Structure 1
Amino acid sequence: MRIRPGDGSDLDSIMALGDEAVAWMVSRGNTEQWGTLPWSANPARLERMRGILAEGDLWVAELDGEPVGVLIVSDKPDPHIPPAGEPEVYVRLLLTSRRHAGKKIGSQLLDKAVSVARERGVSLVRVDCYRGEDGELVGYYERNGYVKSETFMVKEWPGQVLTRRI
């Protein structure tokens, strides 16, 4: 697997990975995290991704030239998350292809976030995620070295912020 810098020309790949993730979650009965509508059919989601891309740095994981994961990091969190009060690298987006599950794509992209933090001389990496009833996503980040910090709500959407010190 290769991880390369990305740019706005990768937006279609981000949206396709989002479509794949939504379909997978819906097939498992998870309609609360991102709803049921494919990302590519949701104009608001497209605008949100454009905004996140404009504010952050994109990294694209490829297998044989095919995008199979994306990471967007920024020096600030989403607007609904309080700033850390110190320099940080914030994982604004992490998406991986379910067709390539088990290949540690997400873990390698999270390692990339840590390496970006080290390059910037920053000792804090944070991420937020959906805090559903099963806690599966929170557990994923914990297995990758993150520790739960604060929880939050965006309307009816329960979220969890996790931190990793390096």
Structure 2
Amino acid sequence: MEIMIREATLADEDGLDLLYTEIDRLHHEALPQVFRGHEEAARPSTFLAAHLADDTMRVFVADVNGRLVGLILLKIRSEEHPIKYSQHYLHISTLIVAAEFQGQGVAQRLMDTAVTFARERGVSQLRLNVYNFNQRAIAFYEKEGFTTLSRHMWKKL
């Protein structure tokens, strides 16, 4: 299987909608009190265009024989805080691999692309958020060298 990684274009919108629908369903099933269920695309048509127009963001897709089987959404961020060192990092907002293509190297290729993108821009740190239910993703990230920096906790009242 040949996996081609490239930047997304507006022409990819339908393929991206399928990937987002799959991941949205997974999140809704695991956390229905947090995520809405959607019968159709949950993101407006302007979602991709806005991301493509933002110089601090990139959307890369994994293409196998003309089918989009994965995506990674990246954003360069900077933070200033009075008691912390200045932070300049690449945030991985989204990493999706279609269920039938998981375990076949797609996520690895997308992550390698993120690392290259960060290094080319002088960024020396990657960050991401992942829900505790997604143990497969957590195992992948840990294998990639990610460690837990903090915990985001909540309590329903």
Q: Same fold (TM over 0.5)?
A: yes
- Which structure 1 segments of 5+ residues have no match? 78-82, 157-166
For the residue of structure 1 that corresponds to 2:151, the secondary structure is strand
Of stretches 29-38 and 59-68 in structure 1, the one that deviates more from structure 2 is 29-38
Larger % of strand: which? 1
Cα offset, 1:127, TM superposition: 1.1
Percent pairwise identity: 23
Number of residues of Structure 1 aligned to a counterpart in Structure 2 = 145
Answer yes or no: is 1:58 the counterpart of 2:56.
no
Q: Does residue 75 in structure 1 map to residue 76 in structure 2?
A: yes
Q: Is the 8 A contact 1:89 1:126 kept in 2?
A: yes
Q: Does 1:17 align with 2:19?
A: yes
Other-structure match for 1:144: 144
Question: CA offsets per residue over residues 120-164 of structure 1, 9 Å max, x none?
Answer: 1211111112123x74433331122211111225786xxxxxxxx
Cα displacement string for residues 85-116 of structure 1 (whole angstroms, at most 9, x for unaligned residues): 32211111111111212212112111111111
In angstroms, what is the RMSD of aligned CA positions?
3.0
Larger CA Rg, structure 1 vs 2: 2
Q: Secondary structure at the match of 1:107?
A: helix
TM-score, structure 1 normalization? 0.71
SS of residue paired to 1:10: helix
Q: How has the CA–CA distance of structure 1 residues 106 and 154 changed in structure 2, closer, same or farther, with 3 Å as cutoff?
A: farther
Label 1:103 to 1:146 Cα distance change in 2 as closer, same or farther (>3 A): same
Give the CA deviation at 1:76. Answer: 2.1
